[in-house]
Structures are given as C-alpha cells and as structure tokens.
Amino acid sequence: MDNFNLVESFAEFARQKGIDRPTMMRILEDVFRTMIKKRFESDENFDIIINVDKGDLEIWRSREIVSFDFFEDSFDYNENKHIVITEAQKVDPDFKEGEAFSDEVKIEDFGRRMVTTARQTLVQKVKDLEKDLLLQKYKDIVGEMVSAEVYQVLGKEVLLTDGNGNELVLPKMEQIQKDRFRKGDNVRAVVHRVEMHNGQPKIILSRTSPVFLEKLFESEVPEVFDGLIHIKKVVREPGERAKVAVESFDDRIDPVGACVGMKGARIHSIVRELNNENIDVINFTENLELLIARALSPAKVTSMKVNKESGRVSVYLKPDQVSMAIGKGGQNIKLASRLIGLEIDVFRELGESEEEDVDLEEFVDEIDGWVIDEFKKIGLDTAKSVLAVSKEDLLRRTELEEETITDVFNVLKKESYDKFSL
C-alpha cells in the first residue's frame, strides 16, 4: 500500500466517524512515529509531513555527514543518525562533513507487515476515540431529555438508537409500568447515567426519574423553559402519581395555572406521555404549614403540629378527609412526606357525637386490596363496621375464606383506631 492509499483510506474512515482534521493529524503522526521507533529505534531526527485532504504523506530523516576519520573507538556511529560523506556526495557532490543530510523514507521501507499493523492501529484508534467522544458527549448531557427510536425490544431492556446511530438502553426498571414499545417507536427519556461496560460505552435512559417529569414541564410550559417559573421539587410514583412544587419569579404569573394550561392542555400532554400518571401541581411557599396542607391535597387539613427536631408532623383531619389524605395504597401521603421532607402522621379528628373508626383503606399495607374490595362490596368500609359483623355472616356474604377473615379481624383489633402513621 502506498502513502496515498493509506492516508486517504484512513481519512475517509475518520470523516465517517465524525473525527475532526486536527485529531486525524494527531492520530496519523502518533502511529507513524511508533512505526519509525520500531524500525529505526528513535524518531527524534524524523519529520513527518501529512496532508489528509490530498492523502499526502512524507517522512524525512535528517542525518549528520561524517568522514571515515570519525570511525574511532570513541565515536558511536549510528546509521540512522549518521551518513558517510562518500554516500552523501553521491547525491550531491557539494556536501561537506558536519552538514545535515535529509532523505525521504518511503512507506514500503517499513515492510508489508508493519504497514498492515499501522493500518489496523489507525482504525482501532479511531474506534477508541469514537467511544471516548460518545462517552463524553452523553456525560455532558446527563439529566437532559433525548428522543430516540426503538430498534429492539428485549425482556429486560429496550434498545434504541439516536440520530447518529448510537445505541442507547432503556432498562425495564427505568420504564413506566404501563410503557409498551414496538420497533420504530419514537421514545422520549432523560439520560440517566453513562458507564463503560466490557470496554463499550453504555448510555442508560430513564422514564421513571423525577428529572424526566421536570424536563417534560420544560418542553410543554414556555414559562418554565424561560425561567419565569421554577420547579422547586418533583416526587413521583412512576406511572401512578406525582407531585410537583412550582414557584413564580413574576408576581403576574400564576405558576400552577401556567403549568396546567388552558383547559388543562399543557398538563394533559404530559400526562399522556406518562401513561396517565396523575400529577398534582402545587404552589410552593416558604410557609411550611401551608405547604404541608397543599401537599396533602385534595384532602383538607383541619390543624397540624410540626416537630422539626423529630422530623415528623402530626396532621388532623375530618374523618371523611382521612382516606383522601392517605390516597390509594398510601400514595398521597408518601409523596407529600417526600415533597416536604418530613414524615406525616395522620390523625382522625372526631366530633363530640362521633365514635372512633378507621377506613379500611388505611390498612392497605397489612390487608390485601382485593380483600378490602370484598368487604366494600357488602357495604363495609371501616374497621368497626367489619368487626360488628360475625364471621359466619361474613363467610356467607363474601367470597372470603374463614382463615382470611380471621386474619383481618386480628389486624383490625390490634390497630389503634384513632391514628394512621406512615
């Protein structure tokens, strides 16, 4: 292979991989200097001239002209650094002792095997550089939203490609439970993390990260994108429910209204992207008690006691508000606790004529949801209403087994009915 073909083929390959000209030049020079060191032991007296645009490559060696008189025990002659004057004068009779003699080293002088190795090294260096560039590119945008196309759906992950054909990974645990993908689908997600795996860069995406919801707000709400509205905090149960605290830097802008949009247009597009995840947008405030009350929406708080030292807050609500404060599977109170950074204890506030009782939904962590539904089918939705019915009647009126009913009775009897603590 001649100089032109070697340089030209490398330059074309590098251009296809998006490698810039200075980097190409550096790689070429590094590889050729390595070749020179292997062939001549040293490269300090070699000049390499490369023109990647034209495919030109010239390697020039500079040697000192010496005479036979120098061949003494004290003189260390090196044919790579010295040339005898008689040889130099064959090229130009005017050469004198002590002058520099330059001659071009042809690529074929290195031998076919070394040239083949150089070509393989050039290709590998470009591939390694491509990996480094890809790794750095995505490291710089961790937390940013990207759009990619699905090209393969596997059991534990979905493989996607970006606009440049690079592979991205969306693991099962980073997918919303209701997500269903097919080849060719366009998917939006945030760059979650970037790592090396078996020598290859692995770009991992996420649709469950709170950051993804934040970026969706930026894309759908111009005021958020422009910085007029700031997203203070996002907490999520991906695919189920989320709470987003927002504040406005402009008194004329209602942050909640702007995020929801006219007739809910803005929030609806975000909800659709998240497969109908319920989103509560909350107006952030430095007033902690007011923020707690807003975080527990739609429940209405009667009163509360905040203990910052213990990291807990006791919230008192009317009996008909307790189940709303807790939410399905305890989602609402969990998200509210995470949003404010305090554990919330919910207390039932009873009137003078009211007897203590607890909604069955408050026992969802100990009693399966389908069991609670069986009781609700026959109009029993509180602890006392269940305990007031005999086991025999419950066996007859429900499809529950005696062992299950006994377990429920044991749970309800040992619980404190005036408090639900998360």
Tens-digit pLDDT string for the chain (422 aa): 455 566 777 777 777 777 777 887 888 888 888 888 888 888 888 888 877 776 677 888 898 888 866 555 555 777 788 888 888 888 888 888 888 988 888 877 777 788 788 778 878 887 888 888 888 889 999 999 999 999 999 989 999 999 888 899 999 999 999 999 999 999 999 999 998 888 888 999 999 999 999 999 999 999 999 999 999 999 999 999 999 999 998 889 999 999 999 988 999 999 999 999 999 999 999 999 999 999 998 888 888 899 888 888 988 888 778 888 888 878 899 999 999 999 988 887 765 445 567 778 878 878 888 888 888 777 677 888 788 788 887 887 788 888 889 988 888 876 644 444 43
Answer yes or no: are the C-beta atoms of 134 and 201 closer than 8 Å. yes
DSSP state letter for 42: -
Q: Which two tokens stand for residue 123?
A: 């290709």
- What six digits make up the tokens of 422? 């998360």
DSSP 221-247: -HHHHTTSEEEEEEEEETTTEEEEEEE
The crossing angle, in degrees rounded to 10, of helices 369-377 and 402-414 is 100
Phi-psi region of 158 (alpha: psi -120 to 50; beta: other; left: phi over 0): beta
Count how many Cα atoms sit within 13 Å of the Cα of residue 132 in the half-sphere of its side chain: 8
| Tokens standing for residue 107 | 């690529």
How far apart (Å, rounded) are the C-alpha atoms in residues 355 and 351? 8
Read off the pTM: 0.67
Asked whether the beta carbons of 43 and 80 are under 8 A apart, the reply is: no
Coil, strand, or helix at residue 137? helix
Q: Are 247 and 229 in contact (CB under 8 A)?
A: yes
